[in-house]
Amino acid sequence: MITFDPFWETIKEKNISQYRLIKEYGFSTGTLDALRKNESVTLKTINDICNKIDCDIPDVIRYIPDI
C-alpha cells in the first residue's frame, strides 16, 4: 500500500496550509482529495509536488507492504 502520510507531515513541518497549497502553489482540490484518501496519483503529480514544495519523494509517499 502507498500512503501519503509523509506529505501531510511535510507540509505541516513547512507551515504550508491546504489553503496555501491551492491558492499559492496551484494544487487542485481533486489532487488534495486523492492524497487525503491515499488514492492513485500520477508520477507527474508526485514530480509536481516535489518541485512545488521543494522536497523529495520520501517526503511525499511511503510504501507499506501488504500483509
The confidence score (pLDDT) of residue 37 equals 97
Specify the DSSP class assigned to residue 15: T
Q: Is the pLDDT of residue 60 over 90?
A: yes
Name the pTM for this structure.
0.90
User: Tell me, what's the pLDDT at 12?
Assistant: 97
When divided into structural domains, the chain yields a total of: 1
- Are 21 and 27 in contact, with CB atoms under 8 Å apart? yes
Sign of the alpha-carbon dihedral angle for 48, 54, 55, 60: negative
Contact residues for 8 (Cβ-Cβ < 8 A; gap 6+): 35
Local confidence band at 67 (pLDDT 50, 70, 90 cut-offs): confident
pLDDT in tens, 7-31: 999 999 999 999 999 999 999 999 9
User: Residue 60: inside a domain, yes or no?
Assistant: no
Domain assignment of residue 6, yes or no: yes
- Supply the range of the domain harboring residue 44: 2-54
Residue 23 lies in a domain: yes
Q: Does residue 16 lie in a domain region?
A: yes
The SS3 call for residue 62 is: strand
